[in-house]
Amino acid sequence: MERLGFDNEKYLEMQSEHIRSRIDQFGGKLYLEFGGKLFDDNHASRVLPGFHPDSKIRMLMQLKDQVEIVVAVSAMDLEKSKVRGDLGITYGTDTLRLIDAFRGFGFPVGSVVLTRFSGQPAAEIFQSQLEALGLKVYRHYSIEGYPYDIPLIVSEEGYGKNEFVETTRSLVVITAPGPGSGKMAVCLSQLYHEHKRGVQAGYAKYETFPIWNLPLRHPVNLAYEAATADLNDVNMIDPFHLEAYGVTTVNYNRDVEIFPVLKTMFERIAGSSPYQSPTDMGVNMAGYCIFDDEAVCQASKEEILRRFYAEQCRHRRGRTDGTAVYKIELLLKQLGLSPLSRSVVAPALAVAERTGDPAAAMEMPDGKILTGKTSELLGCSSALLLNALKYLGGIPDEVQLISPSVIEPVQDLKVNVLGNKNPRLHIDELLVALSICAVTDPNAKRAVQQLQKLRGCEAHTTVILSEADEDSFRRLGVRLTSEPKYQTSKLYHG
């Protein structure tokens, strides 16, 4: 079982109280930038074992009557069809998913802001789609010299050109499908326009990482650097906080860079700034809720290793230039880790070397590591999954859960009817076959009942899997990594 190190209930209590205090600080209207993910903050739950992925939304429910949601999405990300790595969907699709999820909790979501808009065709198409669904869409534009040319930014030629987002509630939560979407810029632009309209408004930032009251090189904060390696984010000591209070705190480069803009804006609006540092802007209480530092350190190291393999595979697929790989590799070296530090890697590689075919390994909740090898009927990932379900269900190895007479017709359909080249069953196909067998076979039924126990298990394969198998592991909650190579030397890998 995973060793816990984070008190989630304490976190909810402290966090909601701190946000209430910040709302009281600004008597009129508060724009609250929500960093990270609101519903499924899987990164936080991985590096802070005990943190619930839906903690932020649970906290917001306590302020439900005051809250209005605005979603920001970068027009540049839409144009690039940027994908959320943990869900495998584009930022555009995730925007729709977020809106549905918010509305499912009873939160009003009436607006989407297209940030860094400069006429991107994909953004224009997405705007038309949203408007057809009854949503208001606003455009915020790129500003030359951002974030350094403060006189231009805080002017009619800067934020003044942005469309003002109409809101009705006192607490406006600005969220996004992923990092780098321009949430802070939306908040600052809104403050500028609110001031022009004579409305008193404030700003605060709710960002889980980096955790400001942990050391700069703490594994939790390094894991955040690994997660944002493609964004060129770097954790750093907050120089403004150190100068103002003589206290060392941790922030990251984008907030430090933008702080003079925010401070200047407040000074122009109210005559003085309520914040003396980027750290002052934040409301994050996560650092106070860690009760087992060793547990969160180990979990964070595992996350950095997973990020390393994920970036290697993204580069192998031609989706990145490889820069992020080198950045994460440096983080591993700082922590004294190597790719083989991941416990499931060596067992998988050993089976692949012995058999000459792709192999896989998975660590069970009790720490035992199982392996799977490629056969005529099953790929290594499907074989591994069956072995894991047998182990978790106490089913002897020699028991046959799925008869070849069930598998062979599926293979025939795949190859001879649907035209697939690979006859071996993918995980989703295997699970359908297993579920059919479970109707009449008690062992198969017991195996199906073990699927929930796979959530949180670590796994590794010696080749890049098909997107179908990767998606199946993701849905099962298995934390998968793969070697950055394909099973064949073909140029196209479907």
Any idea what the CATH number is for the domain that residue 463 is in?
Answer: 3.40.140.40
Distances in Å between the alpha carbon of 299 and those of 67, 226, 342, 461?
33, 13, 11, 20
Q: What is the pTM of this model?
A: 0.86
Q: How confident is the model at residue 10 (pLDDT cuts 50, 70, 90)?
A: very high
d(CA 57, CA 273): 29
Angle (CA) 340-343-345 rounded to 5° is 55
Q: Examine residue 56 and state whether it is found in any structural domain, yes or no.
A: yes
Q: In the predicted model, is pLDDT for residue 320 greater than 80?
A: yes
Mean confidence (pLDDT) of the chain: 92
For residues 225 and 261, is the Cβ–Cβ distance under 8 A?
no
Residues 177, 43, single domain; the answer is yes
Nearest to 381 by CA among 436, 315, 454, 299: 454
Hey, what are 149's tokens? 């040319």
338's CB contacts (< 8 A; 6+ apart) are 332
For residues 221 and 150, is the Cβ–Cβ distance under 8 A?
no
Q: How confident is the model at residue 1 (pLDDT cuts 50, 70, 90)?
A: low
Residues 288, 357, single domain; the answer is no
| CB atoms near residue 7 (< 10 Å) | 18
- The 10s digit of each residue's pLDDT in 35-54 is 777 777 889 999 999 999 98
d(CA 276, CA 274): 7
d(CA 387, CA 370): 7
Residues 280, 382, single domain; the answer is no
Q: In the predicted model, is pLDDT for residue 492 greater than 70?
A: no
- Report which residue type is found at 116: R
d(CA 427, CA 382): 5
d(CA 390, CA 448): 10
d(CA 32, CA 38): 13
d(CA 399, CA 309): 34
Among 115-119, 421-425, 462-466, the least confident range: 421-425
d(CA 159, CA 261): 11
Residue after which a domain boundary falls, among 254, 269, 293: 293
Residue after which a domain boundary falls, among 293, 309, 335: 293
Question: To the nearest 5 percent, what fractions of the chain are helix, strand and coil?
Answer: 50, 15, 35
Q: Examine residue 431 and state whether it is found in any structural domain, yes or no.
A: yes
- The 10s digit of each residue's pLDDT in 142-156 is 999 888 788 898 899
pLDDT at 485: 95
pLDDT at 296: 98
Residue after which a domain boundary falls, among 293, 320, 351: 293
Hey, what are 142's tokens? 């790129």
DSSP E strand stretches across 308-438:
359-363, 369-373
Domain span holding position 447:
343-482
Among 92-106, 251-265, 442-456, the least confident range: 251-265
56's CB contacts (< 8 A; 6+ apart) are 34, 36, 37, 38, 39, 41, 206
pLDDT at 120: 95
Hey, what are 141's tokens? 């534009």
Q: Examine residue 324 and state whether it is found in any structural domain, yes or no.
A: no
pLDDT at 494: 56
Q: Examine residue 313 and state whether it is found in any structural domain, yes or no.
A: no
What single-letter DSSP state applies at residue 288? G
Hey, what are 426's tokens? 């993918």
Q: In the predicted model, is pLDDT for residue 86 greater than 70?
A: no
Residues found in the chain: 494
Q: Examine residue 305 and state whether it is found in any structural domain, yes or no.
A: no
Any idea what the CATH number is for the domain that residue 66 is in?
Answer: 3.10.630.10
Nearest to 454 by CA among 441, 466, 440, 472: 472
Nearest to 71 by CA among 165, 141, 143, 161: 165
d(CA 471, CA 453): 17
- In the chain, the number of structural domains is 2
